[in-house]
Structure 1
Amino acid sequence: MKTPDYARFVQDCIAADTLDDHKLNEDQLFGVYLSWCGLLGQTPGPCESFWAAMSRLGVHERRGNDHRYIRSGLRMTGPAALDYILASQPSLV
């Protein structure tokens, strides 16, 4: 089993955004990661490895008002983002 390249995931799927209203919560970030792995035919790495890699790569978190972790100033982008959005919002199809 090949371990996913987390740096490539961030490069391919995550973009910095200066607008305050752009935020990713932990479910969205992990969901787009799973979509990215699926599109590349890779087996996702363990959750612990993913979150440790995100921290090392500077994708920091903070708690929001609803006590879910959010990554502010980030947005998802690319084909994996589209795949994730369509999979999580079937009413859009």
Structure 2
Amino acid sequence: MSAPNHRQFLSECLERVPAKQPGLSDDELYGLYLSWCLLNARKPGPIASLWAAVRQEGYLQQHRGGRTEWPDLCMTGPAAVDYILASRPSLL
């Protein structure tokens, strides 16, 4: 397995959404990243390097009501489908 390319992950799996939409939680973003790594035969890197890459792209992390989230972000692409189906088996 090759090392992850965070920029590629970010461009393939994340889109900006209007501010009125809920953002992604840390768990959702990390789960999406793991799905992307699995689908692309990549070994996940340290979580700290993922957060640093997300911040470098200009996304801001916020704390709201006891939850850490990345506002203005939504999932897209095959990794999003994989993550959603894996985390919600009742949808099958």
TM-score, length of structure 2 as denominator length: 0.93
Tell me what 1:57 maps to: 57
**1:82 partnered with 2:81:** yes
Tell me what 2:9 maps to: 9
5+ residue gaps, structure 1, are none
* Alpha-carbon shift at residue 19 of structure 1 (Å): 4.6
* Alpha-carbon shift at residue 11 of structure 1 (Å): 0.4
Over the aligned positions, Cα root-mean-square deviation in angstroms equals 1.2
Runs of 4+ in 1 over 6 A off after TM superposition: none
The number of residues matched between the two structures is 92
The one-letter amino acid paired with 2:80 is A
Q: Which secondary structure does the structure 1 equivalent of 2:43 belong to?
A: coil
Counterparts in 2 of 1:34-53, with a 5 A limit?
34-53=34-53
5+ residue gaps, structure 2, are none
Q: Which secondary structure does the structure 2 equivalent of 1:34 belong to?
A: helix
Query: What is the CA deviation profile of residues 37-65 of structure 1, one whole-angstrom value per residue up to 9, with x for unaligned ones?
Result: 00001100011111111111222100011
Whether the aligned pair in 2 keeps the contact of 1:20 and 1:72 (CA below 8 Å) is: no
The one-letter amino acid paired with 2:26 is E
Separation in structure 1 between the aligned mates of residue 2 and residue 53 of structure 2, nearest angstrom = 16
Q: Identity rate of aligned residues, in percent? A: 42
TM-score, length of structure 1 as denominator length: 0.92
The one-letter amino acid paired with 1:73 is D
